[in-house]
Structure 1
Amino acid sequence: MTETAVDAVEPSPLALAVDIGGTKLAAALIGADGAVVLADRVATPQPGPGPGAAEQVWAALADLVKRMVDAAGDRPIVGVGASTAGPFDLVGATISPVNIHAWRGFPLVDRLREAVPGVPVRLAGDGSCAAVGEHWRGAGRGHDDLLVLVVSTGVGGGMIHGGRPFLGVGGNAAHVGHMVVDLDGEPCPCGGQGCVEALSSGPSMVRYALREGWHATGEGTARDLAAAARAGDPVAVAAFERAGRALAAGIVSAAAMCELSQVVIGGGVAESADLLFPSLQAGLDHFGRMGFLQGIGLRTAELGGSAGLIGAAALIHEPERYWS
């Protein structure tokens, strides 16, 4: 009996993606097709001030990373992509997220290189990674001039310009949430005044509604506000209209600078697209009168909470498009 030799099939490579935020730390193993093979998350530690605070946060992330490395088994991990809240410094490879007080100038890239040696580590902002993810495998496919906004407790964003991420020198470009759209507007958590985020984030919408006389139900969250708007509460409806108009002003301002063909809206507030999108579309029509500002497509995100992780994986699997 003659034996037939069978070529060994090489295990398909994986990217190890991490997504760092103020409330959660997430990690995932993601294939070259963008499929999430395994994912896990933990709450972001909230240590008090002190010399060991930064290491407490790192220990939680390092444990997640180790579990992913162990779970990969025989499949090679070819790189680590990191999506993080900002601000950060791509040149110095450090991060100082406003919502992780323990990390100021934290050397995240060096720490990840120590945890997963011998492979590249690539870092980008969470908004930029969400934009890359939606461009690579989500609602932005086929649109090479794309803005992605994540409307939740804040308003984050990222931009694809000419088919490539628009990052800026330090990696902090495309912060549309901190474009000023109301010169006499409310203070913003960033320290500025009248930013898109100060009018359109979930907490900002709730604050406005309460100030205007909304009698909150439940815990008084943005979801409670959405339920009230769907039930016809005029103050709740006005809060969504105001938020949509502010988002539109920010989008048109960004489009006037860079030209855009598509805008993708994600995040928790985007779950109320039925309430937000009518005023958002009306605002785009009102503010965008010049020809090249008209006809911008508007879609909801497809990747949900995985957009940042998938975008971080694209930095590893598709570096010629999204990194180099």
Structure 2
Amino acid sequence: MYAALDIGGTKIAGALVDERGAVVHRAELPTPARESARRMARTVDAVIDALSATAAWSAARAVGIASAGPVDTVSGTVSPVNIPAWRDFPLVDSVSAHPELSFGPEPILLGDAVAMAAAEHWIGAAQGADNALCMVVSTGVGGGFVLGGRLHPGTSGNAGHIGHISVGIDGPPCPCGARGCVEGYASGTAIARYAVETGWSPMPGMQPSAAAVAASARQGDERALAAYDRSARALAAAIAGCAALLEIEVAVIGGGVAQAGDTLFGPLRRHLRSFAALGFMRGLEVRPAALGGDAGLIGAAAAARRHHEEIGVPGSPAVPRSRT
């Protein structure tokens, strides 16, 4: 078993994941995102408490943590944009201090989109690909790379921040400080905003959102279709840029916006044919993610499993970790 934590702005989830990538036990609590750093840490501890109370806990060999970012995997700290109390919070040290986590190597930290890439490469839509980009397109846009058959988190753990590639040098300003970022065109927030600005309104009983825009698009609403086409074009430009630099074979798209199905993937594949024009890029595939809401947990477990195998003997009993 491998213990996994997935920390986001809405929920803190934990799981025990087996050698096949199956979630065996799960625990979850709402994220107290507007409360103190200490309250946040206690909630993480409570999720670990719930997992450690199960019989399968004794089989746990390592721990992985997926967190909303930015993250710093060198220092083991996180500064999630949507959790104001955590700025340079020492999450790895905090989790390591839990009395039930005195086994195995130190917990391994990943950004949530990098964890998604680890999961999809292990048992999901990128399985078998040596070079892949996996993206989360939701309220924001994030990503992670697999290169040469291995996860590539980068020096600080933030490689794959595709949402902040500029696809419009004179585009709208982004909160990150740049202009024309993919996130400003392709996120769920951006889709809904653009649709409203062009005169779209949701169907009765629905609030403005990417899902509501998708519902209108399926009914043939031209403004809704245009909003998704704009999103797809920005994604295609960014994916093609990554393919030109890194020769990725597969781009996997997950997150809430991907739930629009062909409303997103149809124009995305069409635009990608235009942007990925060089011969070595023409075989690039775009696939929907396979693992849904479990991707963060499975990816954290995948990273913990890989780390455990690299520094220890696979399948060996847990080795107590020194507290000195």
Normalised to the residue count of structure 1, the TM-score between the two structures is 0.91
Aligned counterpart, 1:285: 273
Q: How has the CA–CA distance of structure 1 residues 323 and 200 changed in structure 2, closer, same or farther, with 3 Å as cutoff?
A: farther
Say which of 266, 285, 288 aligns to 2:254. 266
Q: Which amino acid aligns with 2:104?
A: V
Aligned counterpart, 2:321: none
1:164–1:322 CA contact under 8 A, matched in 2: no
Say which of 24, 44, 47 aligns to 1:64. 47
Aligned counterpart, 1:203: 189
SS of the aligned residue for 2:97 comes to helix
Aligned counterpart, 1:94: 77
Aligned counterpart, 1:7: none
Instruction: Output the CA distance in 2 between the equivalents of 1:264 and 1:142.
Output: 13
2:16–2:57 CA contact under 8 A, matched in 1: no
Moved over 6 A (4+): 320-324
Aligned counterpart, 2:322: none
Say which of 152, 159, 177 aligns to 2:145. 159
Find the structure with the greater CA-based Rg. Answer: 1
* Deviation string, structure 1 residues 107-134 (Cα, Å, up to 9, x no partner): 1111111111222211111111100100
Alignment of 1:119 onto 2:104: yes
Q: Deviation at 1:79? A: 1.1
Name the % identity.
45
Q: What are the ranges of 5 or more consecutive residues in structure 1 without an aligned counterpart?
A: 1-13
Q: Deviation at 1:322? A: 8.8
Instruction: Output the CA distance in 2 between the equivalents of 1:273 and 1:230.
Output: 10
Q: How has the CA–CA distance of structure 1 residues 306 and 38 changed in structure 2, closer, same or farther, with 3 Å as cutoff?
A: same
Say which of 35, 55, 62 aligns to 2:38. 55
SS of the aligned residue for 1:75 comes to helix
1:163–1:321 CA contact under 8 A, matched in 2: no
* Deviation string, structure 1 residues 259-297 (Cα, Å, up to 9, x no partner): 111111111111112101121111111111111121101
Aligned counterpart, 2:316: none
Instruction: Output the CA distance in 1 between the equivalents of 2:308 and 2:64.
Output: 14
Instruction: Output the CA distance in 2 between the equivalents of 1:254 and 1:322.
Output: 29
* Deviation string, structure 1 residues 150-204 (Cα, Å, up to 9, x no partner): 1111111111000111111111111111100011212323332211111000010
Normalised to the residue count of structure 2, the TM-score between the two structures is 0.91
Aligned counterpart, 2:239: 251
Alignment of 1:78 onto 2:58: no
Q: Deviation at 1:323? A: 9.4
Instruction: Output the CA distance in 1 between the equivalents of 2:161 and 2:124.
Output: 21
Q: Deviation at 1:74? A: 6.1
SS of the aligned residue for 1:62 comes to helix
Aligned residues: 307
